[in-house]
């Protein structure tokens, strides 16, 4: 099997970065995320981490993104669309959970009537180098959400070997092309792939979506939501959450319309200009978040909007835990 030695990794990334935006897990001030590779000496590669606190969704949906610019003079307005930079993008080291989340984003942005042009521009020439995940962490539950963590569908699949070199498998023609560019750095070697350790968190989603459909007005939501403080951490670190806001930035006679991530946890999210807010209380917002993840998205697209990456479980400051929510929902006894 082809092997990319760890000490050749930076060089490989540099070659890839010659004609593509390359996004790599990095650590900055103990905050890990997928950042664009520029071979800064200060950039600490974080491929040894299980995953990153910040999800890789910024590769396809930047948190803030200009849509079009405008110029006004008296009554006239002129607008110019902001074009997303065309060209190749590469995401390196993405795990099965986040890859499955990317499939969710594809469904949300590219199907059901309209295609989102900004998303499409970033997504269409994206090469995916996924890393097999042999050693899950205590918050991981991707298997329960249907991910194949050892063999996710990607252009290239890499496996971290015992000596930290990467076994390298090109899976698609796009992957072959990329591999050819860095072939000189690779060695052909017999390798033993690591043993997969079991995932300790088991989640069985059978019947959850259907049961939730009967539970909209169940009192369990009062209890579950009581600890939530309605901040947006869970939605912003989630690799699947995709809701956005459209806003304007205006400096006198010119400005731009941009979109930015938004969170269903915020009161302002559904607040209408006249003052009516269909989700005025935290319980309603909390419920909508979990129903969107586990029921509504399922009904609309046939998948859970949760892929078991565990980020929200790790980062919620008040201990809101989607696995506990699923278990509580299963425990609820519904009247026949």
Query: Smallest Cα–Cα separation from 61: which of 258, 336, 266, 278?
Result: 258
Complex with other proteins: residue 139 or 329, whichever CB lies closer: 139
Q: Is 29 in the site for other proteins (CB under 8 A)?
A: yes
The answer to whether the beta carbons of residues 307 and 101 sit under 8 Å apart is: yes
Helix (H, G, I), strand (E, B) or coil at 199: coil
- Stretches 16-24, 51-59, 162-170, 186-194: which one binds other proteins (CB under 8 A)? 51-59
Positions 232 through 291 that interact with other proteins (CB under 8 A): 232-233, 235-237, 242-251, 254-264, 266-276, 278-279, 282, 284, 288, 291
Query: Smallest Cα–Cα separation from 104: which of 127, 123, 85?
Result: 123
Report the Cα 33 to chain-centroid distance in Å.
11
Positions 92 through 131 that interact with other proteins (CB under 8 A): 103, 106-118
Complex with other proteins: residue 76 or 190, whichever CB lies closer: 76
Positions 3 through 22 that interact with other proteins (CB under 8 A): none
**How far lies 172's CA from each of 96, 110, 151, 153, 160, in Å?**
17, 22, 14, 9, 20
Site string for other proteins, 196-225 (x = CB under 8 A): --------------------xx----xx--
Q: Is 331 in the site for other proteins (CB under 8 A)?
A: no
Complex with other proteins: residue 108 or 178, whichever CB lies closer: 108
Complex with other proteins: residue 192 or 276, whichever CB lies closer: 276
Residues 6+ apart with CB under 8 A from 46: 25, 26, 27, 32, 52
- Stretches 5-13, 34-42, 75-83, 181-189: which one binds other proteins (CB under 8 A)? 75-83
Q: Is 32 in the site for other proteins (CB under 8 A)?
A: yes
Q: Is 164 in the site for other proteins (CB under 8 A)?
A: no
The answer to whether the beta carbons of residues 107 and 301 sit under 8 Å apart is: yes
Query: Smallest Cα–Cα separation from 269: which of 298, 232, 318?
Result: 232
Helix (H, G, I), strand (E, B) or coil at 309: coil
Q: Is 296 in the site for other proteins (CB under 8 A)?
A: yes
């Amino acid at each position: 099997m082809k092997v990319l030695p760890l000490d050749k990794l930076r060089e490989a990334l540099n070659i890839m970065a010659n004609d593509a935006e390359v996004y790599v897990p990095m650590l900055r001030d103990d905050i890990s995320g997928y950042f664009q590779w520029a071979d800064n000496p200060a950039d600490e590669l974080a491929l040894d981490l299980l995953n990153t606190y910040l999800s890789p969704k910024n590769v396809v949906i930047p948190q803030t993104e200009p849509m079009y610019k405008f110029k006004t003079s008296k009554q006239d307005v002129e607008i110019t669309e902001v074009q997303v930079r065309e060209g190749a993008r590469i995401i390196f080291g993405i795990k099965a959970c986040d890859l499955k989340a990317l499939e969710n984003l594809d469904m949300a942005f590219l199907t059901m009537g309209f295609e989102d042009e900004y998303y499409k521009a970033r997504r269409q020439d994206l090469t995916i180098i996924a890393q097999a995940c042999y050693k899950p962490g205590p918050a991981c539950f991707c298997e329960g959400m249907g991910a194949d963590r050892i063999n996710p569908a990607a252009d290239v699949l890499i496996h971290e070997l015992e000596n930290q070199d990467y076994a390298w498998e090109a899976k698609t023609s796009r992957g072959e092309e990329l591999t050819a560019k860095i072939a000189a750095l690779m060695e052909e070697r017999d390798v033993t792939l690591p043993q997969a350790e079991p995932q300790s968190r088991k989640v069985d989603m059978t019947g959850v979506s259907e049961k939730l459909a009967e539970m909209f007005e169940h009192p369990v939501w009062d209890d579950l939501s009581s600890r939530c403080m309605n901040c947006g951490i869970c939605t912003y670190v989630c690799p699947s959450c995709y809701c956005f806001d459209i806003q304007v930035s205006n400096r006198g006679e010119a400005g731009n319309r941009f979109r930015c991530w938004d969170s269903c946890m915020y009161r302002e999210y559904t607040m209408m200009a006249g003052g009516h807010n269909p989700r005025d209380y935290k319980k309603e917002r909390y419920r909508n978040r979990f129903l969107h993840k586990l029921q509504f998205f399922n009904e609309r697209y046939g998948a859970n909007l949760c892929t078991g990456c565990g980020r929200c479980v790790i980062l919620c400051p008040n201990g809101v835990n989607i696995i506990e929510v699923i278990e509580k929902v299963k425990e609820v006894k519904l009247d026949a």
